[in-house]
Amino acid sequence: MESSAPSTPTWTRASEAFLASLAGRSPRTRATYASGLRRFVEYLQTRHLDPDTLLADEVPLSFVEEYHAWLIDQFGRERRPTVVTYLAALRALCRFLDRRGWAAPDATYERVRERLAEVVGRGQYRTPRIDRRLPLIVTTADELALPPSGDAARRLTLLRDRALLHVLYSSGMRRAEVSRLDRDDLEDGWRGEALITGKGDKERVVFLSDEALAAVRRYLAERNDGYAPLFLRHDRGRGRPGPRGERYRLSPQSIWGIVGAYARLAGVRATPHAFRHTKASVMLNRGAKLSEVQDILGHASPETTKRIYAHYEVAHLREAFDRFSASPSELVANLGRARSSTAEPSAPQIDPASDLRPTRRAAKRRPGRSAG
């Protein structure tokens, strides 16, 4: 490799500068990129390269394809989403290096992006496997006996879980989005829509059913506090509340655990993400358009929605196909009926006395004309 200019930082320093440039992005995005870059450092170490001494412009384009192969070897082809996530972190860093003039001559951002597109290809989204019994998770929580007022922690926990499950089911929100909800977003359960910041820091409006809002109102009324988060921890080990109760906020991982617990109780295999798939499938089966589902779920690209849920449009096409198509035998039968209705009428039976009565044609003769 050619020697680099002194101003070019090491790979470690360049990575740190890149992560620092993400200060305006969500903490989740920064954490995801940091994790992906740590995987690339592991790959460099397998090549006996030290990121603390390796300069940023000494990483050639060929490393991109080799890194992809290494990830496949580490995680397997069935973990494709994980591999794509780690490659996205490298691609973002390469764009940063190219913008700063720190990239290798053959590793410009455009070339890295093209090479990644070649080696990764266009992914195939697996059709969601949706258990039609998923609503049982919600009704199971609703049917549980509410603990007495003297057992405040258990009573609040059940009321919270009921509200949480209704919100997940009716809105199709991600668990991280639900975790970030504040009670003001829903005006303490009296507002059926909320403006949230979802994946990729993109804003969208979400909607909640009347049942979900009623569950939220009952939970907040029982809480009787001024804490900002919509969903709180109610266990004894939650510690001090922090400013506006932020330390009590229910985490995305806790939401995962709550859904899992009620799913097991209902005898259904489900995760929080299954509620999104159920919301989409119900809407599509009832005639919603893919573009409408895209907006409700917050997919950045319509291609994502189409690739995941396009089979529902196929189902509607199949329904129309079956409803409006006809078999050859049906068409032949219809043809036979049409022919019989247009055939010449058979000769009428002659009544011996009919010649004594005037025919209809004779009765319609013009006045003044004789029958002879």
Q: What is the pLDDT of residues 110-124, one digit of tens each?
A: 888 888 888 776 555
The 8 Å CB, 24+ separation contacts for 285-291 are 285/312, 285/315, 287/316
The H or E element containing residue 69 is: helix 62-75
Name the catalytic one among 219, 227, 309, 312.
309
Residue 157 confidence (pLDDT) above 90: yes
The confidence score (pLDDT) of residue 75 equals 83
Ranking 15-19, 24-28, 120-124 by mean pLDDT, the lowest is: 120-124
> What is the C-alpha separation between 280 and 273, in angstroms, rounded?
11
pLDDT digits (tens, 9 = 90+) for 35-81: 999 999 999 999 899 999 999 899 888 888 898 889 888 888 777 88
Q: Is residue 232 within 8 Å of 224, Cβ to Cβ?
A: no
The whole-number pLDDT of residue 136 equals 94
Active site residue 277: no
Contact 166, 138 (CB under 8 A): yes
Residue 83 CA to residue 76 CA, distance in Å, equals: 9
Catalytic hit among 174, 175, 204, 249: 174
Residue 13 binned pLDDT confidence (cut-offs 50, 70, 90): very high
Fold topology of 135-321: hpI Integrase; Chain A (1.10.443)
* Distance from chain centroid for Cα 30: 22
Residue from 276, 277, 279, 312 carrying the catalytic annotation: 276
Q: Are residues 232 and 153 in contact, defined by beta-carbon separation less than 8 angstroms? A: no
CATH number for the domain formed by residue range(s) 11-120: 1.10.150
- From the list 74, 100, 103, 99, the residue with the least C-alpha distance to 87 is 74
User: Whole-angstrom Cα distance, residue 342 to residue 10?
Assistant: 91
**How far apart are the C-alpha atoms of 215 and 33, rounded to whole Å?**
37
Q: Give the Cβ contact number of residue 30 at 10 Å.
A: 16
Query: Is 273 considered catalytic here?
Result: yes
Tens-digit pLDDT profile for residues 263-312: 999 999 899 988 988 888 888 777 778 778 888 888 766 666 666 666 66
Q: Is 299 a catalytic residue?
A: yes
Work out the average pLDDT over 166-193.
93
Helix (H, G, I), strand (E, B) or coil at 268: coil
Q: Which of 199, 217, 223, 307 is catalytic?
A: 199
Residue 144 pLDDT: 96
Domain boundaries, the chain: 11-120, 135-321
Of 92-101, 106-115, 163-172, the poorest mean pLDDT is in: 106-115
Range scoring the smallest mean pLDDT among 50-64, 215-229, 233-247, 354-368 = 354-368
**CB neighbours of residue 204 within 10 Å:** 18
Given a cut of 60, whether residue 345 has pLDDT beyond it is no
Query: Who contacts 190 (Cβ-Cβ below 8 Å, separation ≥6)?
Result: 213, 217
> What is the reported pLDDT for 6?
47
Which pLDDT band holds residue 370 (cuts at 50, 70, 90)?
A: very low
Residue type at 143 in one-letter notation: E
Please choose, from the candidates 188, 197, 248, the residue with its C-alpha nearest in 3D space to the C-alpha of residue 216.
188
Instruction: List the catalytic residue out of 30, 95, 113, 273.
Output: 273
Query: Could you tell me what percent of the chain has a pLDDT over 90?
Result: 41
